[in-house]
Structure 1
Amino acid sequence: MTVASTKQPRHAAGPLYALGLEGSANKLGIGVLSHDPATNQTTILSNVRHTFVSPPGTGFLPKDTAKHHRTHFASVCAAALRDAGVSPAQLSCICYTKGPGMGAPLTSVAVGARALSLLWERPLVGVNHCVGHIEMGRVITGASNPVVLYVSGGNTQVIAYASQRYRIFGETLDIAVGNCIDRFARTLRIPNDPFPGYNVEQLAKKGGVLLDLPYAVKGMDCSFSGILAAADVLAAQMFAQDKLLAAGGALKEGETRITPEDLCFTLQETVYAMLVEITERAMAHVGSRQVLVVGGVGCNERLQEMMGRMAADRGGSVYATDERFCIDNGIMIALAGLLAWETGFETRLEDSTCTQRFRTDEVHIAWRED
Structure 2
Amino acid sequence: MVIAIGFEGSANKLGIGIIRNDEVLSNIRRTYITPPGQGFLPKETAIHHRENVLEVLKEAIDKSGVKVEDIDVVCYTKGPGMGAPLNTVAIVARTVSLLWKKPLLGVNHCIGHIEMGRLITGAKNPTVLYVSGGNTQIIAYSRKKYRIFGETIDIAVGNCLDRFARVIKLSNDPSPGYNIEQLAKKGEKYAHLPYCVKGMDVSFSGILTYIEEKIDFLLKQGYSEADLCYSLQETVFAMLVETTERAMAHCGSSEVLIVGGVGCNERLQEMMNQMCIERGSKLFATDERFCIDNGIMIAHAGAEMFKSGTRMKWEDCTITQRFRTDDVDVTWRDD
TM-score (norm 1): 0.89
1:70 correspondence with 2:50 = yes
Distance in 2, Cα, partners of 1:215 & 1:206: 22
Distance in 1, Cα, partners of 2:139 & 2:97: 32
Query: 1:99 touches 1:355 (CA, 8 Å); kept in 2?
Result: yes
Q: Which amino acid aligns with 1:112?
A: V
Query: 2:5 touches 2:299 (CA, 8 Å); kept in 1?
Result: yes
1:334 correspondence with 2:285 = no
Distance in 2, Cα, partners of 1:65 & 1:324: 21
Pairs aligned (count): 335
Distance in 1, Cα, partners of 2:35 & 2:311: 39
| Aligned pairs for 1:85-100 within 5 A | 85-100=65-80
Query: 2:133 touches 2:162 (CA, 8 Å); kept in 1?
Result: yes
1:159 correspondence with 2:139 = yes
Aligned to 1:4: none
Deviations 1:252-274 (A, max 9, x none): xxxx3121100100000000000
Aligned to 2:200: 220
1:199 correspondence with 2:179 = yes
Deviations 1:215-242 (A, max 9, x none): 0000000000000001112323356x4x
Distance in 1, Cα, partners of 2:104 & 2:211: 44
Deviations 1:251-310 (A, max 9, x none): xxxxx3121100100000000000000000000000011000000000000000000000
Query: 1:188 touches 1:235 (CA, 8 Å); kept in 2?
Result: no
1:175 correspondence with 2:161 = no
Instruction: Among all aligned residue pairs of Structure 1 and Structure 2, give the percentage whose two residues are the same amino acid.
Output: 62
The alignment partner of 1:159 has SS state of strand
Distance in 2, Cα, partners of 1:258 & 1:199: 18
Aligned to 1:23: 9
1:314 correspondence with 2:279 = yes
TM-score (norm 2): 0.99
Distance in 2, Cα, partners of 1:167 & 1:116: 33
Aligned to 1:126: 106
1:288 correspondence with 2:268 = no
Query: 1:21 touches 1:95 (CA, 8 Å); kept in 2?
Result: yes
Distance in 1, Cα, partners of 2:159 & 2:209: 13
| Aligned pairs for 1:39-118 within 5 A | 42-118=22-98
The runs of at least 4 consecutive aligned structure 1 residues that moved more than 6 Å come to none
Aligned-residue offset at 1:352? 1.4
Query: 2:310 touches 2:331 (CA, 8 Å); kept in 1?
Result: no
**Structure 1 unmatched runs, 5+:** 1-14, 36-41, 242-255
From 124, 135, 159, give the equivalent of 1:144: 124
Distance in 1, Cα, partners of 2:292 & 2:50: 20
Aligned-residue offset at 1:351? 1.8
The structure that has the greater radius of gyration is 1
Distance in 2, Cα, partners of 1:348 & 1:46: 28
Distance in 2, Cα, partners of 1:181 & 1:236: 18
Q: Which moved more, 1:350-359 or 1:135-144?
A: 350-359
Aligned to 2:168: 188
Aligned-residue offset at 1:78? 0.5
From 350, 357, 360, give the equivalent of 2:325: 360
Distance in 2, Cα, partners of 1:258 & 1:206: 12
Q: Which amino acid aligns with 1:301?
A: E
Q: Which moved more, 1:291-300 or 1:343-352?
A: 343-352
Aligned-residue offset at 1:165? 0.5
